[in-house]
Amino acid sequence: MQLRILGCSGGIGGDNRTTAMLLGDSVLLDAGTGVGDLGFDELVRIDEVFLTHAHLDHIACLPMLIDTVLGRRKTPITVHATQATIGILKQHVFNWLVWPDFTQIPTLENPMLRFEPMEVGEQRMVPGGTITALPALHTVPAVAYAIDSGAASVVFSGDTADCAELWQAINAIDNLKTLIIETAFADREESLAKLSRHFSPRLLIDALAQLDRPAKVELLITHLKPADHQLTMQQVLAAGHAYRIARLEQGQVLTF
C-alpha cells in the first residue's frame, strides 16, 4: 500500500496544506486543503473518505470535492466517521445554509454523498488492506486510524492529546511500522496545547513512554503550526533523541 501525504500542516499560507492523505488512488484520510492540489481526474477516482474528526482543517475540501465530481461519478462518495462527527457535518456543513445537503443531490435515490458510521474498534476493507478506528482524545469526538496492508501497519493519530486507550491499541498492533502523530504547538504554548487537546514536544515525549518496542517504530510528526514549525520540530528532536523521529513532509509517500 502507498499513503501519499497531500497536506500535513496545522495551518495555511505559502506551501502549507492542512491534513489530507491519499491511500492508493481512491481513499482519503481526512480532507483538508491538501485535497485541492489533486487533479480533476484524481478527484473523480476518490470513492471513500475516512474522517478523524469534524474540525475545519480536516474537512475543508470535503464539500468542494463532492460538488466538483458531481456529474462525473455515478456512485456516491462514502464518508466514514463516528456518528457524532456525522451529526456535526449534517448540522453545521451539509445543511443547505453553509453547503447543500449532498445526501439528497442529485436525488434522494442517487445521492453524491453517503455517510457510513464507524465507531472505535470497527474495521473497514479498503483496496489493499484494512482501516480500523482507534481511540483518540480531542476537543470534539475524534478517532485515530490504523491502516494495515497485511505486511505492515501505519497509525495516524489525527488530532489528539495523551490517551491511554490509544497507546494500548497501538501496542496491540504487532506489525506496526510507522506512527504519524501530531505535535501542534511549541513548548512555550504548552498551556494552549493542553486546553485544545494537542501535543507539544514535552507532552509528546512524556506520552511516548507508553509506546512498546519504540526502536521498531518510525515516528513522523504532523500538524505543526506554521508560526512555530521549526522551533517545535527542533524541540521534538532534542527531547526525543532516543526515538526514530522525523518530520512528516507534504508530498511524501509511505510504502508499507
What is the predicted pLDDT for the residue at 155? 98
Mean pLDDT value across residues 157-164: 98
Residue among 178, 176, 145 at smallest CA distance from 160:
145
Q: What is the pLDDT of residue 187?
A: 98
Mean confidence (pLDDT) of the chain: 98
Kindly report the pTM of this predicted structure.
0.97
End-to-end C-alpha distance for the chain, whole angstroms: 5
Q: What is the mean pLDDT of residues 84-94?
A: 98
pLDDT-above-70 percentage for the chain: 100
pLDDT digits (tens, 9 = 90+) for 186-245: 999 999 999 999 999 999 999 999 999 999 999 999 999 999 999 999 999 999 999 999
Gap between the Cα atoms of 57 and 217, Å rounded:
27
Measured at the CA of 1, the angle between CA 205 and CA 44, to 5 degrees, comes to 110
Please state the domain extents for the chain.
2-255
The pLDDT-based confidence of 59 (bands split at 50, 70, 90) is very high
pLDDT classification of 105: cutoffs 50, 70, 90 = very high
**pLDDT at res. 29:** 98
Q: Please name the residue that has the C-alpha cell 466517521.
A: 81
| Amino acid 161: pLDDT | 98
In whole angstroms, how large is the CA radius of gyration of the chain? 18
Q: Where are the beta strands (DSSP E) in the chain?
A: 2-7, 20-23, 27-31, 48-50, 77-81, 113-117, 123-126, 129-135, 143-148, 153-156, 176-182, 218-222, 245-247, 253-255
The class (CATH top level) of 2-255 is alpha beta
